[in-house]
Amino acid sequence: MIIDFILLILGFGLLIKGADWLINGASILARKKNVSDLIIGLTIVAFGTSAPELIVNTVAAFQGREELVFGNVIGSNNFNLFIILGITGLISPLVVQESTIKKEIPISLLAVLILYVLANSFFTNLSVLSRFDGLLLLVLFGVFLFYIKNQLSNNPVQEMPVVVSETPAKITLFIIVGLAGLVGGGTLVVDSASSIAGFFGISEKIIGLTIVAAGTSLPELATSVMAAIKKNADIAVGNIIGSNIFNLLLILGSSALIRPLPYDPIFNTDLYILLAGTIVLMIFMLTGGRKMLDRWEALLLLITYLIYTTYLILETV
């Protein structure tokens, strides 16, 4: 069992480092092609911080571990919303743009609602996220990317070309090693987490909602905390909202295409918490004189997650 914990930590390390290498390689490549920082942030960084969830879910889907698939995505989104925004909001009150409140956060809320309807299969007798549902989620993800493209077109950013000294071979190495780290780390996390769950008699749902979700969300945590320290609220909040949309549409969509995923309605409670948290975040940022997440509101998010986690643990006792 000690070996499983060591392998779990090693897997998380490979996931985080792999994502870091992948982001570095892709960012260097983008700069070499004179792509703007804004596009890099909305695409490469957003994908990079969600890459651990993508790899873990891909492996879990191939192995038919649907509890780990749903637990990782829903748990990661709750961790992002309550813990990461809570910590970053305590570091520095987060003032965001109006479009974030009126567009990006509602899109994230809509994605949760769509998953809830599809997974509970209100139009059929089976609670399953089918391949058709997965395809629909991926189509909606494409619509989201089209929205980002329009946002960039409507708000062009002029930047000076950046001189990049790295050779093509070094850039390629960064990307290949990063992907290898993600695949290897994802496999270690899924296998060791499942072994730990079996040893302690804990369901993979609980492991996915807590340990795996927190571990795969570490890149988002690091990115948002650094953004908060640098007083860049748009990156701190945008990283979280963007990652949550990526998780629900891209990652669950890809997982369902690999294998139809039977859905346990017990996850509905966790979806309700995610829905409520997203609505409360929107209310927090709409109230008061400024569009801001205050420190006391951030603290409330953290306390809510602690209560939520305590509930999950007591549920298994």
DSSP string, 260-299: -EE--GGGHHHHHHHHHHHHHHHHHHHSSSSSEE-HHHHH
Calpha distance 36→137 (Å, rounded):
28
> Residues 26, 173: contact at Cβ < 8 Å?
no
> Residues 119, 266: contact at Cβ < 8 Å?
no
Calpha distance 212→65 (Å, rounded):
13
User: Tens of pLDDT along 144-192?
Assistant: 888 877 776 665 554 444 445 667 787 778 778 877 777 777 678 777 8
> Residues 195, 64: contact at Cβ < 8 Å?
no
pLDDT of residue 199: 78
Q: Could you list the residue range(s) of the whole structural domain that residue 67 is in?
A: 2-316
Mean pLDDT lowest for which of 65-69, 156-160, 203-207, 271-275?
156-160
What's the domain count of the chain?
A: 1
Query: pLDDT grade, residue 219 (50/70/90)?
Result: confident
Residues present in the chain in total: 317
User: Tens of pLDDT along 65-113?
Assistant: 888 899 989 999 999 999 999 999 999 888 877 777 788 889 999 999 9
- Average pLDDT for the chain: 81
Q: Residue 60 belongs to a domain with what CATH number? A: 1.20.1420.30
Strands 94-95 and 128-129: unpaired
